[in-house]
Structure formats: C-alpha cells, structure tokens
A = this chain, B = another copy of it.
Amino acid sequence: MQLYELELNDGRRISPFVWRVKLALAQKGIAADTIGIGFGDKDKIAFSGQGLVPVLRDGERVVSDSWDIACYLEDQYPDMPSIFGGPVGRGLARFVARWTDITMLGNLAVLMMPCVFDHVPERDRAYFRQDREKRFGMTLEQMREDPEGKIAAFRQILLPMRVCLRDQPFLSGDAPAYADFCVFGGFIWAASVSDYKLLSNDDLLYAWRERMMGRFEALISASPGVVFT
C-alpha cells in the first residue's frame, strides 16, 4: 500500500487531510509506504484522476479524498480495529470532519499560511505566495499580523469540543476514532510549521492532545518537525 502526501522542507509532512489517513492507518494497524511530493508534483498523482493529496494506492485500487479513503479502509479491512464504530459513528464522523474543515481549519488558515510558506521549498514559493494571497485577498505579511488576536479567536471557537471533553476523554468517547483524527490532524499541521502556542496548558483540549500524542507517539515522532507547544 502506498500513500502519497505533501512534503515540504526538511521532510515536513503537513497536510491535515493526509494526517487523518495516517492516523486511520495506524489505528487499523495497516502499514503503508508514504511518498512525499511537492506542490509542483501534481503529475506524480495524475494516475488518481485529480491533483490533491492524500492519494492511496492499494494494489490495483486507487482512492483519493481523505473521507473516501477512510471509508475504503473501514469497508475493505473490517476485521481490523474500527475507525468509525458503526453506521452512526460514521455518519457523525462526517459531521465532525466538516466542522473541522470549516470551523477549526477555516479559523486557523490565515494564521498558518505564512508559517507554511516559511517551509515551502524555494522552487514553489512564488506559486504558493501568489495562490494563497489571491485566495485570502491579502498578502502573507498581512496574514502575519495580530497572531494573539487570531489565537484568542481560535481558542474560542473550540468551545463545543472543550465542553464535550469535560465529560469524556476523547471526542469519540472512551477511545479515539476518526473524528478525533480530524481535529488532531489540524493540530499536527499547525505544530509542523509554527511554534504558536495554540492551547494553554490548563485547556482540556491540551490534555486531550497529550492523550492523542500518547496513542500515536511512534507515528508522530517519525515525522520531522512536529513540536507541540
């Protein structure tokens, strides 16, 4: 099995969507060779019929899109530990995935783009700057402004998660599952490129993140440059 993922300078693997898949593979105990590609390497995944990572190749089967890959792994390898815990768990995991995309990552994006830029290889920097400045309607330098304000807003929008974690150790209950992977993938993304302190030490989310790290320590420590603050 091969997993194609985005790779930046010093071997940093940053895509939060790829991390969902890597955590799902780890939970299921499935080994995959990971193949890092750069922003300009879309031709290397052209066989998938689209241009975005993650792309999973399992023998003759090719699956792209993190959600579709998660469903593929769950359905194809049902005897390995579950990442959804049944149909309702799968349905609600999709809601949390979309909540993560829109609310969590959407809120972090402006703060993180300049940090990602700092780790983009020289050859892709012009492309990255132009693409992201157009998408966000501001310069990378403007995005760097007021990190404290952005972090405060970010902490605020995580309140539903924090309140949930008052009563249970993981979003998915007593053990982590795909919904936890979605949110944790966002934190790994941030920790791969920035040293912003996104969570205060007394935040229930900080303790949750530590529990997630404890569960997936081998995977995290094998990935260059991930430093939680």
Known contacts A95-B96, A168-B94: A88-B173 contact under CB 8 Å: yes
Answer whether residue A149 sits at the interface, using C-beta atoms and an 8 A cutoff.
Answer: no
> Which stretch (A42-50, A55-63, A98-106, A123-131) binds chain B?
A98-106
CA separation between A85 and B177, bound complex, in Å?
15
Q: In the complex, which residues of chain B have a beta carbon less than 8 angstroms from the beta carbon of A189?
A: none
- Shortest A155–chain B CB gap in Å is 14
Contact B92 A172 (CB under 8 A): yes
What residues of chain B lie closer than 8 Å to A86, measured between beta carbons?
85-86, 88-89
Quick one: which of A96, A99, A170 has the most chain B CB within 10 A?
A99
* A170 CA to B90 CA, complexed, in Å: 11
A103 with B160: CB separation less than 8 A: yes
Query: A91 at interface (Cβ–Cβ under 8 A)?
Result: yes
For this complex, into which size category does the number of interface residues on chain A fall?
Answer: 35 or more
Copies of this subunit: 2
Nearest chain B CB to A137's CB is how many angstroms away? 18
Measuring CB to CB, which residues of chain A are less than 8 angstroms from any residue of chain B?
82, 84-99, 101-103, 159-161, 163-164, 167-168, 170-175, 177, 179
The 4 closest A-B pairs by CB, nearest first: A91-B173, A85-B88, A88-B89, A92-B92
Sample of 24 A–B contacts (CB below 8 Å)? A84-B88, A86-B86, A87-B172, A87-B175, A88-B88, A88-B173, A89-B89, A91-B170, A91-B171, A91-B174, A91-B177, A92-B92, A92-B172, A94-B167, A94-B168, A95-B160, A97-B164, A98-B160, A98-B164, A99-B99, A101-B160, A102-B160, A102-B163, A103-B160
